[in-house]
Structure 1
Amino acid sequence: MTADNNEAVSPRSTADQHLAIDAPERSPNTDPITVRVTGAEPGATVDVTTTLEDSDGDEFVANATFTADEDGVVDLSEHEPDDGPYEGVEPMGWLWAMSSDADAPFPRLNGLSNIEVTLHAATEDAEATRTVTRVLHDDDVEEHTVDADGIVGTLFVPAGDGPHPGVIELHGSGGRRGTGTAKLLASRGYATLALTYFGDDHDALPDELERIPLSYVDDAADWLRDQPAVADDEVGLVGSSRGAELALLVGAHYDWVGAVVSYAGSVPWDTPSGEPAWIHDGDAVPHITAEEAPRFEDLDEKPVADVVPPVEQTNAPILLLSGGDDGVWNSRRLSEAVADRLRDREFPHDFDHRTYDDCGHLIGTPYVPLAGIDETERAGGTARGTVRASEDAWPAVLDALETGLKKQQ
């Protein structure tokens, strides 16, 4: 999907005098776009305000002030604001720097396939408004609730003729499946199962993150490949936080895995109750014991290395993503411990550890309002750093899945 490059002011825009806003009317939310204000007096002060409303009705806003250049233009991809929520040139700052007075630091996008962003530009004697649509995922992605054969989750199926390569997305310790990324992967051609592996709202699952058998993911892969729209072939794993921990473990133990992506992952550790998080063939996998989320700063290298899964047994490319300012755990060091093992064992497949300064635990997909990160100390990182990480990480994720899965086609 590519942005609509028709930059003429559409009927959805209004303008006084010659002031106008040029921007693609519709574009994928993972793609940057150019926003330009034209028709201002050279040297004029131009206020640019952007707003969106999330699925809960909360409004997110960014306001920045610019000086028009000698041609009466403000190009947000080239000009830095005189005042605003970000510093320097930030082509997509008008979107990611939005914030809200609501309790939630980030917008809730539940059930939305698109977000409508209103751009408003004003000088002393003119104004213009334009609405742009940012596409979160394709409207024709099919969504199916899964509760069969002991497997719980949501399956997202791409449009078009299958069979499509399969992906399993693994959530973190919050116990909620992250359907946003799953829908986006389905928009890219992957039949994606957002798998739930614990939670107190389903009798078939453990209430807590305790003694989760790796075989549950194995069973889920069997179920996924049995679906008519899904290729009966290797399956990719995309995990976040403790779900990344699980993805690396499963990749090391099962030969159906075609790609592994680890967002802010860790080596295995136990749970607050003292129970192991993961079991394989009835036994706890090697893990670190910690009263809380392990900080690891005081641990020697050997205890960490001793519990790194046998990732060299994975018959697939591995992508590790980490933030250098992770406030949950030291995902940079822990991911590097995994990378060290892959190097030491001369891993024969592609692998990459991409780590990002000024980024914490919330590496994701660009572009969404992220100003709340600056107020969320636990996650770590800054909004700007997280944007930079996500801009780099998302194409790398797609490349890893392409390498591991679409070779099947």
Structure 2
Amino acid sequence: MRGDLARCAIGVLAVVGAAVGGIAAAPGKAAMRSASERIAIDAPVASAYQSVHIQITGLPPGSQATITSSAYDYAGKLWQAQATFTADSSGTVDLAKQAPTSGSYTGVDPMGLVWSMNPGTAAGGSPSFFFLTAYPEAEPSFSIDLAVRDEAGRVTRATLTRLWMTQGVTHRTLTLSADGVYGDLYLPAPSAGAARRPAVLLFGGSEGGESERYTAAVLASEGYPALSLAYFGETGLPSTLTNIPLDYFAGAARLLAKQPEVDPRRVLALGASRGAEAALLLAQNFPELIHGAILYGPTARVNPSFPDGASIAWTLHGVALAAGMPIPVDRISGPVLPIAGADDAVWNSPQSATQISMELDEDRNPYPHKALIYPDAGHGIDAGVDVPSSTSYTYPDSGYTLEFGGTREGDAAAQQAAWQRVLALLASLRQP
């Protein structure tokens, strides 16, 4: 397990419970018990972004077992996935080693029953962006119920508890009137004698609002102070991605760097899509504040305003940055991690990721930098690790649907692999 979340694991969870002919026993009837079938989970309580190992034991060898995962989103809508497996010669189904014979996903994937959940029944519904909880600080965790039905109709149950925030993480809402920025600050639990830590300033893309607060909360749970920032689409901020001052982001970076837990020499920007564009601009233009960047779905050029595309998107010290201009990288004072899906349908982020890394090489940048490009993944690879997401996004105001490319399977694999690289990068910056 990773970081502070290791202390939240409670060992192997074994849950036994059965019902005849369905997922639940009929009202008023006692459920039949199975003494042998068990669901074993190595980390039943773990980070929302952490893969876990799930095994079903005690099944008749060669028999079929159907596993259903269920969770309710913040609006009360039921999401489910379902997969059928064949038990091996020892009567075990191991999701990390076996592919389902049918169901919501294909191939071997230990977390396939999580990211493949759809609204409605397992076979129906179309996934879109959603949040399982309204806010991570209001609901620090969410539950995913697992039910295993064997050939005899017996049902065994267990619960996965997925954490946005571990115990001890603190949260403070940031307001324009009091703090000069709109966002949320998440700080890790205090640790006696701990050195100051790397910190992350996060922001999303053209969806607007504050879409990275969940990742910020998870990062704080991993031990890294994090500030999730909105820069348009919220009260008091511009309504669209037009004439956004990069100096506003710099103000948020200064606020984050002043926190007692933060090492001000190791504040990184993490952005997604248009947010990755802003993160690269910040690392280049404010190297004394932003010491590197994590870029999900990046671009190597400045883009115009959104959604009209006819105006300026960014300003620097009151001066407009012209659309189409390349973003230089010669002043960046820290590591850069460009992350792209090979099948990005929004823009050519793989080419940009490669270009950014090559230009850092040419500028002899001494800090780690390497483009990560994942097959079968699209523009939505930042949506959240092992949390259901879609390959498109419909803007609520206009109804316009943006196709991201990639597949849900490809996105899920890329998210998990990239997240491990992000954590490894941050861990490398920690001081003993």
TM-score interval w.r.t. the shorter chain? 0.7 to 0.9
Q: Which moved more, 1:103-112 or 1:58-67?
A: 103-112
Matching residue within 147, 152, 156 for 1:120 = 147
Letter in 2 for 1:264: G
Write the distance in 1 (CA, Å) between the matches of 2:248 and 2:264: 18
Change (3 A) 1:350 1:16: same
Change (3 A) 1:201 1:311: same
Q: Secondary structure at the match of 1:55?
A: coil
Q: Secondary structure at the match of 2:366?
A: coil
Change (3 A) 1:374 1:278: closer
Equivalent residue for 2:27? none
Write the distance in 2 (CA, Å) between the matches of 1:171 and 1:262: 11
Whether contact under 8 Å (2:118, 2:127) holds in the other structure is: no
Equivalent residue for 2:228? 194
Q: Secondary structure at the match of 1:257?
A: coil
Whether contact under 8 Å (1:244, 1:265) holds in the other structure is: yes
With structure 2 as the length reference, what TM-score do the two structures score?
A: 0.82
Write the distance in 2 (CA, Å) between the matches of 1:313 and 1:402: 23
Question: Structure 1 residue 390 and structure 2 residue 409: aligned?
Answer: no
Equivalent residue for 2:204? 171
Equivalent residue for 2:404? 379
Change (3 A) 1:12 1:34: same
Query: Deviations along 1:360-386, whole A, 9 cap, x unmatched?
Result: 11123421124x438987121101111
Write the distance in 2 (CA, Å) between the matches of 1:6 and 1:156: 27
Identical aligned pairs, as a percentage? 31
Write the distance in 2 (CA, Å) between the matches of 1:12 and 1:195: 45
Equivalent residue for 1:208? 240
Matching residue within 324, 327, 332 for 1:314 = 332
Equivalent residue for 1:265? 298
Question: Structure 1 residue 105 and structure 2 residue 138: aligned?
Answer: no
Question: Structure 1 residue 4 and structure 2 residue 31: aligned?
Answer: no
Query: Deviations along 1:167-187, whole A, 9 cap, x unmatched?
Result: 211221121112011111111
Equivalent residue for 1:84? 103
Whether contact under 8 Å (1:259, 1:401) holds in the other structure is: no
Write the distance in 2 (CA, Å) between the matches of 1:227 and 1:68: 52
Change (3 A) 1:342 1:128: same
Whether contact under 8 Å (2:16, 2:39) holds in the other structure is: no
Write the distance in 1 (CA, Å) between the matches of 2:36 and 2:95: 18
Matching residue within 294, 303, 319 for 1:283 = 319
Write the distance in 2 (CA, Å) between the matches of 1:36 and 1:201: 47
Change (3 A) 1:401 1:353: same
Write the distance in 2 (CA, Å) between the matches of 1:374 and 1:70: 41
Letter in 2 for 1:348: P
Matching residue within 252, 257, 276 for 1:225 = 257
Equivalent residue for 1:244? 276
Letter in 1 for 2:163: V
Alpha-carbon distance, 1:61 to partner: 1.0
What is the root-mean-square deviation of aligned Cα atoms in Å? 2.4
Write the distance in 2 (CA, Å) between the matches of 1:374 and 1:250: 28
Write the distance in 2 (CA, Å) between the matches of 1:103 and 1:325: 20
Equivalent residue for 2:169? 141
4+ long deviations beyond 6 Å = 11-14, 374-377
Query: Deviations along 1:182-208, whole A, 9 cap, x unmatched?
Result: 111111222211112222521xx3232
Alpha-carbon distance, 1:106 to partner: 4.2
Question: Structure 1 residue 71 and structure 2 residue 105: aligned?
Answer: no
Letter in 2 for 1:117: I
Alpha-carbon distance, 1:275 to partner: 1.5
Q: Which moved more, 1:95-104 or 1:140-149?
A: 95-104
With structure 1 as the length reference, what TM-score do the two structures score?
A: 0.87
Write the distance in 1 (CA, Å) between the matches of 2:312 and 2:332: 22
1:30-49 aligned at under 5 Å gives the runs 30-49=49-68
Question: Structure 1 residue 399 and structure 2 residue 398: aligned?
Answer: no
Change (3 A) 1:229 1:343: closer
Equivalent residue for 2:24? none
Equivalent residue for 1:304? none
Query: Deviations along 1:190-245, whole A, 9 cap, x unmatched?
Result: 2211112222521xx32321122222222222222334444444421111111110
Whether contact under 8 Å (1:61, 1:98) holds in the other structure is: yes
Letter in 2 for 1:269: N
Change (3 A) 1:140 1:57: farther
Alpha-carbon distance, 1:8 to partner: 4.9
Write the distance in 1 (CA, Å) between the matches of 2:113 and 2:45: 16
Whether contact under 8 Å (2:15, 2:157) holds in the other structure is: no
Q: Secondary structure at the match of 2:106?
A: coil
Equivalent residue for 2:183? 153
Aligned pair count reads: 386
Q: Secondary structure at the match of 1:172?
A: coil
Structure 1 runs not aligned, ≥5 long = 289-306
Letter in 1 for 2:181: I
Q: Secondary structure at the match of 2:330?
A: helix
Alpha-carbon distance, 1:114 to partner: 1.6
Alpha-carbon distance, 1:37 to partner: 1.5
Write the distance in 1 (CA, Å) between the matches of 2:14 and 2:275: 45
Query: Deviations along 1:137-156, whole A, 9 cap, x unmatched?
Result: 31432121112342221111
